[in-house]
Amino acid sequence: MTKDTPYALLRQADAAERQTVSDILTEAFMDDPVACWLFPAPDERGRLQSHFYGQLLDRSAAEAYLIGRDEGASVWLALAAGQAPDGEHPNPPEMDQNSIFGANGVRLRTLGRALTERHPRGEPHLYLSCMGVVGERQSAGLGSSMLRHRLERADTDGLAAYLEASSPRSRALYLRHGFADLGEPVRVADSPLLWPMWRQPSR
């Protein structure tokens, strides 16, 4: 698939496709450095990732997209000025989180707090919470197509965009699409680096 991929292959996911979005992201991030740090037990990682994406998709601000034959997915949050990136429940009860994520909940909360502190809140913007492509379709242009599709609309609406890149490879992709580093990378304890990145709308 090339940069000329028609957007007809890309659609906004509806409620019935929620599990499809979660399954694609779970597969795409199974070996991601940050996912491996958050959920170090390989036999538990898929289940815990699925819970994580389910909570993300529950947010009223979430927009989910699918591309191709369910080969890639992205989740964006449309945030108002001053709105917390954590959504409607920025501090879910620790007991509830522990019942889902167990000991992994400590890492999840610690990293979440660090990222929230760095998240810009001065103006309305789109937050690309996650975007992934299944293994055999990576490097085929699907990620770039998903980015261009939503960023073109953001440019039309005059909206900036924000994300955290979880690997040098994804950071390079986002740099090619107009994002720039926003301060130093984030790291908590022995976690991998995450790169906060910001993109001004193209006028």
* Residue 187 pLDDT exceeds 90: yes
Residue 30 has a pLDDT of 94
Q: Tell me what percent of the residues of the chain surpass a pLDDT of 70.
A: 88
Residue 69 has a pLDDT of 86
Residue 113 has a pLDDT of 93
Give the mean model confidence (pLDDT) for residues 33-61: 94
Over residues 3-40, the pLDDT tens digits come to: 445 455 899 999 999 999 999 999 999 999 999 999 99
**Could you give the dihedral angle defined by the CA atoms of residues 188, 189, 190 and 196, in that order, rounded to the nearest 10 degrees?**
10
User: What count of other Cβ atoms lies within 10 Å of the Cβ of residue 11?
Assistant: 13
Give the mean model confidence (pLDDT) for residues 77-83: 91
Residue 103 has a pLDDT of 83
Residue 8 has a pLDDT of 53
Give the mean model confidence (pLDDT) for residues 138-147: 84
Give the mean model confidence (pLDDT) for residues 153-167: 96
Range in 84-93, 156-165, 179-188 the model is least confident about = 84-93
* Residue 1 pLDDT exceeds 60: no
Residue 89 has a pLDDT of 43
Residue 85 has a pLDDT of 79
Taking 3-state DSSP, the helix, strand and coil percentages for the chain, each rounded to the nearest 5, stand at 45, 20, 35
Over residues 87-129, the pLDDT tens digits come to: 544 444 444 566 688 889 989 999 999 999 999 999 999 999 9
What are the φ/ψ torsions at residue 91 (nearest 5 degrees)? -130, 75
Residue 84 has a pLDDT of 78
Average pLDDT across the chain, whole number: 88
